[in-house]
Amino acid sequence: MRMRNKLTFVGAGVCVLLLAGCATIPNPISQSEVYGVENGYGVAQSAAVGYAALPRCPAGQNTSLANVCSQHGVIVQLARADAKARIALNALEAFARNPKNYPGLSFGALLATAQSAISTLQQIESTNQIGA
């Protein structure tokens, strides 16, 4: 009987440990990596802000070396891309800092969304030779 009690006790302990293990969400990325990603995005964002600070191009003229200016339509695109990227990065940061708060979220999906949003902004910059 004692042996049975012992086994029950040990079994209960193992169950508790297993449950505790399940409750701990493994963090597949370090906070410093997300911090690096966000700072890297900040560099790209700075180029966009610098572009927006240029005088607007006259109608029918594009940005060139001989005509350093910005186009309103491109700024609107950059602002939209930035807004999306910030939402994605904020979610990624929140997850990286406190993964236990988001047990239902997939880190891979968050990272993919953030990367996609960042590359959208970079694509707009590349197309319009911003920060080149």
Partner 1 sequence: MNLSSIEDAAKHLESSAAGALSGLASAVGPIDLVKVEQLVLDIISAAPAIQAAEQSALPFVMAIVQMVQNGGKSPSDEEWDALAARLDAGSSALQNAANEPDPNVQQVGQEPVTEPNLETTNEPQSEQTNPVFEGAQ
Number of residues that bind partner 1 (CB under 8 A): 45
Copy the structure tokens of residue 84.
Answer: 């999306």
CB of 126 to partner 1, least distance (A): 16
Under DSSP, is residue 67 helix (H, G, I), strand (E, B) or coil? strand
CB of 118 to partner 1, least distance (A): 12
Structural contact between residues 57 and 63, judged by C-beta atoms closer than 8 angstroms:
yes
Structural contact between residues 88 and 113, judged by C-beta atoms closer than 8 angstroms:
yes
* No. of helices (H) and no. of strands (E), the chain: 4, 0
- Applying the rule CB under 8 A, the residues between 36 and 55 that interact with partner 1 are 36, 38-43, 45-55
132 binds partner 1 (CB under 8 A): no
Q: Which of 22, 23, 65, 132 binds partner 1 (CB under 8 A)?
A: 65
CB of 19 to partner 1, least distance (A): 27
28 binds partner 1 (CB under 8 A): no
Look up residue 74 and give its amino acid.
V
